[in-house]
Chains A and B, each alone.
Chain A
Amino acid sequence: QVQLQQPGSVLVRPGASVKLSCKASGYTFTSSWMHWAKQRPGQGLEWIGEIHPNSGNTNYNEKFKGKATLTVDTSSSTAYVDLSSLTSEDSAVYYCARYGLLGLDYWGQGTTLTVSS
């Protein structure tokens, strides 16, 4: 079955960068766009962007350009989001989700990113 595995939590210092991972299994990784979304405590979801693992093509929400960079490693079926110059505003849960025929059909459990000194 389709699974997207994400680490549970990460703690980083303000000003640093972090690379969050999403390991896919149960389907052909290179056949589906992978999306990323951000959810701050008590708030709705924000779409960060998408990447196609086969081509490496990406599309970003303008709001996250300069903040987030999406990449993939097809050899390990893993997608990544790189977040730079971290501040407290970046503290959130970050989800990866597969875009299937029906929309965002499978989601990872999310990684809780805490930016704190």
Chain B
Amino acid sequence: DAGITQSPRHKVTETGTPVTLRCHQTENHRYMYWYRQDPGHGLRLIHYSYGVKDTDKGEVSDGYSVSRSKTEDFLLTLESATSSQTSVYFCAISPPGQGFNEQFFGPGTRLTVL
């Protein structure tokens, strides 16, 4: 998985609780992304980062926040989890010089919100 780890790999939580997912890379790539994958929807971009402390919203950013204090770590936070956020979350990275096109994905985190 191209030097990308995600933690936790599985999580069950209750509605209203805060949740933080972590993506860690060892490739020193500039771009990092968070996607969610749901049946019938395909992959949808939540947030992305183009450098330390530089982030921007994607297609489905409502209810999510991100932070990137180090090149290697990109955190996704659900401030108050809802059942609609039950999904599989994938982190991806892009090598330098290729912008948005060349992406490598992590193994995913399966989140269940009860």
A and B associate: no
Point out residues on B near A: beta carbons under 8 Å.
Answer: none
